């Protein structure tokens, strides 16, 4: 009986231990971005905020969930995202929803839903946030990843394609990432692509035995994707495949040629890659990816995008040409770390606020916000009681001035201002002038300027 009881106890202990282990783990492919890593993210956010405004974009925040049908229809069956990577579920009410695997489908939906097609064109939208893809996690590949997404609706001229590449290049340069190349291709329009796909199918059919299992299926579902399959044997077959650039219709060929001319004018480093097809089926004409120079073998893109002239129409709107791109921010941060790019520098408080006693603690809480509202950055340690330990913290933080409020000062409505370099102290009245006196003192090596 006792043995049985102990056995049960052990099992429940084991179970408890296991559930604890699971609770303390973030889901696979997802991670926490700690405060000490935020200086790179803040730098990115700063550059993005500036860039989207400079380039005339409006920001839009979209729900993290979309109807699965919208995503399937937009991104396309036969793509890895739709076939394998969506986090989809049915709600209690029976709705089929998915975590967004990208922004463009949701943006096209919102563009139509909010009647944005009547706005002055082009309509430029910026979005930023997490997207979700159930892929096999590895270096630079996450299941929760962050994208900065730029899309332009209502302009078909190739100058917009160049403009969006110019923007991507400008953002990366502002983040110190200058060694990048734009891999560029045109995948034509539905008219010229149809003929090309027939040719491609025939070619791959004749080499079927040399392809991987997945690509054999792709011959019928998505033959374009065979062109950028990472398997060696498929790559060899793809190298000899007919190239779409030789089969573009006049309109698509002209569009591509103009884009290249614009890029040359902008002196943007590009490489024509006839096997670049991208993993989303809404693209037409221009497609591009941004690769760090030296990492070409890894096919590790910092961002990618292209034109999608038929998506809005596919979703029930009028024909609306569009182009956009997304930067993969996790990879951008990794690249910034690798090249030791400039990170955001947080302003460091030069003033420390110390307090002693209950009344002083209460009053210094209010003083903290009065100082902060008037532009005086203040460090504090409200939880500490002893003045000695607070002054030690002030020293460690290299505060230039410590404002001390003890019991007596709290009752008198004053504070002591201590110059941390010289140790000199002065008593000041707590009133609306105090923040300005402190600011002046900071400029004057911690000394109060007497009127
Ligand atoms: P995408 O190429 O699928 O395009 O993703 C854009 C970028 O997101 C990639 O270049 C990469 O940096 C990053 N990324 C993608 N998957 C992962 C992952 N599993 N882990 C880490 N980073 C990743 C799109 O999403 C299109 N919606 C872009 C677009 C906007 N096209 C037109 N407008």
184 vs 307: CA distance, rounded Å: 12
Residues 279, 178 within the same domain: yes
Cα(327) to centroid of ligand 1, in Å?
6
- Kindly tell me the sign of the dihedral angle through the C-alpha atoms of 288, 290, 294, 299: negative
Q: How many CA within 13 A on the CB side of residue 328?
A: 23
Average pLDDT, integer, range 38-61: 97
Residues 290, 323 within the same domain: yes
Residues 376, 305 within the same domain: no
Q: Does the CB atom of residue 331 touch ligand 1 within 6 A?
A: yes
Mean pLDDT rounded to a whole number for the chain: 93
Q: Which pLDDT does position 228 carry in this prediction?
A: 87
* Domain stop point among 309, 338, 367: 338
- What band does 445 get if pLDDT is binned at 50, 70 and 90? confident
Residue 30 lies in a domain: no
CATH number of the domain enclosing 362:
3.40.50.800
Q: Which pLDDT does position 449 carry in this prediction?
A: 61
**Token pair for residue 31?**
């991670």
- What band does 9 get if pLDDT is binned at 50, 70 and 90? low
Q: Which pLDDT does position 444 carry in this prediction?
A: 84
Q: Which pLDDT does position 177 carry in this prediction?
A: 97
Cα(182) to centroid of ligand 1, in Å?
15
Residues 275, 413 within the same domain: no
Average pLDDT, integer, range 4-12: 60
Q: Which domain holds residue 375?
A: 351-443
State the closest ligand 1 atom to the C-alpha of 151, by its place in the atom list counted from 1: 33
Convert the pLDDT of each residue in 109-152 to its tens digit.
999 999 999 999 999 999 999 999 999 999 999 999 999 999 99
Convert the pLDDT of each residue in 197-237 to its tens digit.
999 999 999 999 999 999 999 999 889 999 988 899 999 99
Strand, helix or coil for residue 233: helix
pLDDT above 90: residue 252: yes
Residue 418 lies in a domain: yes
Residues 400, 431 within the same domain: yes
Strand, helix or coil for residue 373: helix
Average pLDDT, integer, range 293-312: 88
pLDDT above 70: residue 62: yes
State the closest ligand 1 atom to the C-alpha of 135, by its place in the atom list counted from 1: 19
pLDDT above 70: residue 310: yes
With residue 130 as reference, give the H or E element that holds it. strand 123-132
- What band does 78 get if pLDDT is binned at 50, 70 and 90? confident
Convert the pLDDT of each residue in 341-365 to its tens digit.
999 998 899 999 999 999 999 999 9
Q: Where are the beta strands (DSSP E) in 297-383?
A: 303-307, 322-328, 351-355, 378-380
Residue 304 lies in a domain: yes
- C-beta pairs of 389-398 under 8 Å, 24+ apart in sequence: 390/352, 390/354, 390/355, 391/354, 393/352, 394/352, 394/354, 394/420, 395/420, 397/348, 397/349, 397/352, 398/348
Of 8, 14, 130, residue with least CA distance to 62: 130
Residues 410, 268 within the same domain: no
Residues 400, 298 within the same domain: no
pTM flag (> 0.75):
yes
pLDDT above 60: residue 3: no
Going by DSSP bridges, is the β-strand pair 144-153/123-132 parallel, antiparallel, or unpaired?
Answer: antiparallel
Cα(320) to centroid of ligand 1, in Å?
22
Residues 408, 303 within the same domain: no
Q: Which pLDDT does position 20 carry in this prediction?
A: 59
CATH number of the domain enclosing 73:
3.30.930.10
């Amino acid at each position: 009986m006792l043995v049985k009881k102990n056995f049960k106890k052990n099992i429940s202990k084991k179970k408890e231990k296991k559930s604890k282990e699971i609770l303390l783990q973030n889901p696979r492919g997802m991670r926490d971005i700690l405060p000490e890593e935020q200086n790179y993210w803040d730098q990115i956010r700063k550059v993005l905020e500036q860039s989207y405004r400079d380039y005339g974009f409006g920001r839009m925040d979209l729900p993290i969930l979309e109807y699965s049908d919208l995503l399937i229809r937009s991104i396309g069956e036969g793509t890895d995202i739709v076939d394998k990577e969506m986090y989809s579920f049915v709600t209690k009410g029976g709705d089929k929803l998915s975590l967004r695997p990208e922004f463009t489908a949701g943006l096209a939906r919102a563009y139509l839903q909010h009647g944005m097609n009547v706005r002055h064109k082009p309509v430029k939208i910026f979005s930023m946030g997490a997207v979700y893809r159930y892929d096999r996690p590895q270096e630079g590949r996450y299941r929760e990843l962050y994208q900065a997404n730029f899309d332009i609706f209502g302009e078909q001229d190739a100058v917009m394609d160049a403009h969006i590449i110019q923007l991507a290049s400008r953002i990366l340069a502002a983040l110190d990432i200058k060694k990048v190349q734009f891999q560029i291709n045109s995948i034509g329009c539905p008219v010229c692509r149809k003929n090309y796909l027939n040719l491609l199918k025939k070619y791959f059919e004749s080499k079927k035995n040399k392809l991987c299992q997945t690509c054999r299926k792709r011959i019928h579902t998505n033959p374009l994707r065979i062109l950028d399959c990472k398997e060696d044997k498929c790559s060899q077959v793809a190298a000899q495949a007919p190239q779409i650039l030789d089969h573009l219709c006049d309109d698509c060929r002209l569009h591509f040629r103009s884009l290249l001319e614009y890029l040359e004018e902008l002196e943007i480093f590009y490489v024509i890659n006839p096997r670049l097809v991208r993993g989303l089926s809404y693209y037409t004409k221009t497609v591009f990816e941004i690769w760090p120079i030296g990492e070409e073998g890894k096919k590790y893109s910092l961002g990618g995008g292209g034109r999608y002239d038929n998506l809005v129409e596919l979703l029930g709107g009028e024909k609306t040409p569009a182009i956009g791109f997304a930067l993969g921010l996790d990879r951008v941060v990794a690249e910034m770390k690798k090249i030791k790019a400039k990170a955001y520098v947080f302003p460091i408080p030069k003033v420390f606020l110390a307090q002693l006693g209950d009344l002083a603690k209460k009053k210094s809480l209010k003083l903290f916000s009065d100082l902060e509202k008037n532009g005086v950055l203040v460090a504090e340690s409200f939880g500490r009681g002893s003045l000695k330990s607070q002054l030690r913290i002030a020293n460690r933080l290299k505060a230039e001035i410590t404002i001390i409020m003890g019991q007596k000062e709290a009752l008198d409505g004053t504070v002591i201002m201590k110059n941390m370099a010289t140790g000199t102290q002065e008593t000041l009245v707590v009133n609306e002038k105090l923040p300005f006196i402190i600011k002046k003192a900071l400029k004057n090596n911690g000394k109060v300027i007497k009127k």
